[in-house]
Amino acid sequence: MLGRVAILVSCLVLVSECALTAEQDVQQTTQSAHGQPDLQGLWTNSTTTPLERPGSVGDQAIYSDEEIAAIDAANVGRNDRLPPAGDPGTYNDFWWERGTALSSTSLIIDPPNGRLPDKTSAGETRAAWARGADSWIDRNLAERCVTRGSPKRPGGYNNNFLVLQTPGYIVLVQEMINEARIIPLDGRPHIDSRIKLWLGDSRGYWDGDTLVVETTHYREEIFTNSFNCCPGASGNLTLTERFRRLDDSTIDHQYTVHDPDTYTRAWTASIPMRRFAGPLYEYACHEGNYGMENLLRGARTQESQ
């Protein structure tokens, strides 16, 4: 009997040591040379999960494995189908990298219903903004190759990021439009409030193993970005992001939106970032933006008919 107990204790010690070693290995791979949690590398936030929970799922917060498989299967080849009559269509599936569905039914995790909070009247007006075709300034900021905003929500393609890290800075390079967010970590104050930026002014700090980034000083025109993080947001938007390394291949990325000029309460979205092999491509938006010229030319043609 004592022999069996000794063997059991030995096995438990061995298992504990193995678990501890595995935990230490993970910790070593997720620590930078400066002792900070290591967020460096190439990451993607591609997913087909929408910002808001679809009305069709009611109060359901989590999909089953079978439901996720069905959603992913329905998306296969979606853009290889013939467009409706009169629609010239768009890229085929070769060019898209939407990713797959998450287990959560929405990116919004607070409010619990997975929906955006009610908007103020000014927020409703901004959210209802629609593109025009009288001039290039009537198009959204993404079409104009100005910005895709920060933080960038997942879209149909170019959902990839390069994270660079030093003791005093984090740099997030967004593949879409080649935008770089340079985030100081040294406790300096935000820039003068009279200076407004497309990506806002970001300041970061470490809270244990979590990088917290606060961004303010956005330009008022950010609501004309169809891909904005926060539909209808104003220049008084304040964003608080949290990046936490879960394992070697996953970063938990959450952002909380504070904008009383637009929403009646704060809300939070969660968009995981997963490691990918790369490469990160140049996004030559202005250089190839013949679409803008064609859009306006088409509008003039329609007016003449």
Where do the DSSP E strands lie in the chain?
41-44, 108-110, 160-165, 169-174, 179-184, 201-207, 210-216, 238-247, 250-258, 267-270, 273-275
Q: How high is the pLDDT of residue 21?
A: 41
The conformation of residue 80, written as its DSSP 8-state character, comes to G
Q: Where are the domains of the chain?
A: 1-30, 32-304
Q: How high is the pLDDT of residue 13?
A: 42
Q: How high is the pLDDT of residue 254?
A: 98
Q: How high is the pLDDT of residue 2?
A: 40
Q: Are 131 and 292 in contact (CB under 8 A)?
A: no
Question: Among positive and negative, which fits the CA dihedral 148, 153, 157, 163?
Answer: positive
Tokens 């938006």 — which residue? 285
The one-digit pLDDT tens for each residue of the chain (305 residues) are: 444 444 434 443 443 444 444 344 444 447 777 788 999 999 999 999 999 999 999 999 999 999 999 999 998 888 788 888 888 888 888 888 889 999 999 999 999 999 999 999 999 999 999 999 999 899 999 889 999 999 999 998 999 999 999 999 999 999 998 999 999 999 999 999 999 999 999 999 999 999 999 999 999 999 998 778 999 999 999 999 999 999 999 999 999 999 999 999 999 999 999 999 999 998 888 777 888 888 899 999 989 98
Structure tokens at 82: 């013939």
pTM: 0.86
Q: Are 259 and 284 in contact (CB under 8 A)?
A: no
- In this structure, the number of other CB atoms found within 10 A of the CB of residue 150 comes to 24
CA geometry: angle 57, 58, 62, nearest 5 deg:
60
Q: How high is the pLDDT of residue 176?
A: 92
